[in-house]
């Protein structure tokens, strides 16, 4: 089931959103920004509903912080209706904007629309000429197949599915090799190096996208213009 993370400091609003959405989605409610960010570190969500007026930091700051590490779609919720506020939210990485009070049917329609735009189609992920098929375990660049080992395939599938998310070496070990497996960090580095080399040989500009986050691990930049 599609998981939606609800971030709002008002318990009544969280209850209302859950009431609207729970029959169709699995909802996780968070009133604390720090708790929400910690949850994102450990768990996958498909969409975030984010309130702007929060006590710890405003929704714009939260949106910026999320965009540093995750590519999860964000719909911002606010009573602010100024055009400048809407533009600001969209420029900071929000995918849509809903004004309070909102109509239940419109909210559901906007959620479905954002999910349609941002979710991979079926078992394929397409990115800048790369086409990854999770069912056939094949990766192509501009119609030419790139031969990958099973671990390399699992690694790039993870990167492409969670673009802009920073993966620690430990996270990659647990995700690709499994828990309770004795793997050294240099094994991860070797696999990333081999993956980069295969992408380069195919003509794909791997160095622009598959980047090292020094002292932490690796990330796949969504945009070639991203800093890093």
- Given this model, what pLDDT does residue 119 score? 66
The 10s digit of each residue's pLDDT in 37-84 is 988 887 878 899 999 888 778 888 888 888 877 778 999 988 766 666
- Given this model, what pLDDT does residue 45 score? 87
- Given this model, what pLDDT does residue 226 score? 40
Q: What is the mean pLDDT of residues 195-221?
A: 94
Task: Record the pTM.
Answer: 0.56
- Does residue 183 register a pLDDT over 70? yes
Q: Which of 1-15, 87-101, 123-137 has the highest mean pLDDT?
A: 1-15
Q: What is the mean pLDDT of residues 78-94?
A: 72
Instruction: Give the mean pLDDT of the chain.
Output: 86
**Stretch among 50-59, 114-123, 210-219 having the lowest mean pLDDT:** 114-123
The 10s digit of each residue's pLDDT in 126-177 is 888 899 988 788 999 988 999 999 899 999 999 998 888 899 998 898 888 8
Q: What is the side-by-side order of every strand in the sheet holding 210-213?
A: 167-168, 217-220, 210-213
- Tell me which of 120 and 160 has the higher pLDDT: 160
pLDDT tier, 213 (very low <50, low <70, confident <90, very high otherwise): very high
- Given this model, what pLDDT does residue 196 score? 96
């Amino acid at each position: 089931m599609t998981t939606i993370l609800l971030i709002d400091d008002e318990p009544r609003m969280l209850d209302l959103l859950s009431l609207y959405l729970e029959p169709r989605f699995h909802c996780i409610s968070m009133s604390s920004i720090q708790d929400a960010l910690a949850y994102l570190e450990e768990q996958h969500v498909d969409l975030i509903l984010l309130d702007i007026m929060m006590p710890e930091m405003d929704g714009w700051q939260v949106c910026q912080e999320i965009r540093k590490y995750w590519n999860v779609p964000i719909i911002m919720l606010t009573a602010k209706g100024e055009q400048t506020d809407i533009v600001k939210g969209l420029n900071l990485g929000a995918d849509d904007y809903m004004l309070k009070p909102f109509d239940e049917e419109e909210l559901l329609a906007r959620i479905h629309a954002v999910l349609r735009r941002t979710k991979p189609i079926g078992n394929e992920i397409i990115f800048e000429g790369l086409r990854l098929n999770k069912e056939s375990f094949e990766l192509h660049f501009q119609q030419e197949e790139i031969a990958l080992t099973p671990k390399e395939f699992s690694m790039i599938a993870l990167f492409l599915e969670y673009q802009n998310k920073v993966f620690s070496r430990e996270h990659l070990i647990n995700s690709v090799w499994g828990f309770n497996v004795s793997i050294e960090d240099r094994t991860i580095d070797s696999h990333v190096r081999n993956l980069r080399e295969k992408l380069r040989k195919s003509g794909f500009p791997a160095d622009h996208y598959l980047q090292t986050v020094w002292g932490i691990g690796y990330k796949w930049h969504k945009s070639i213009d991203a800093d890093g």
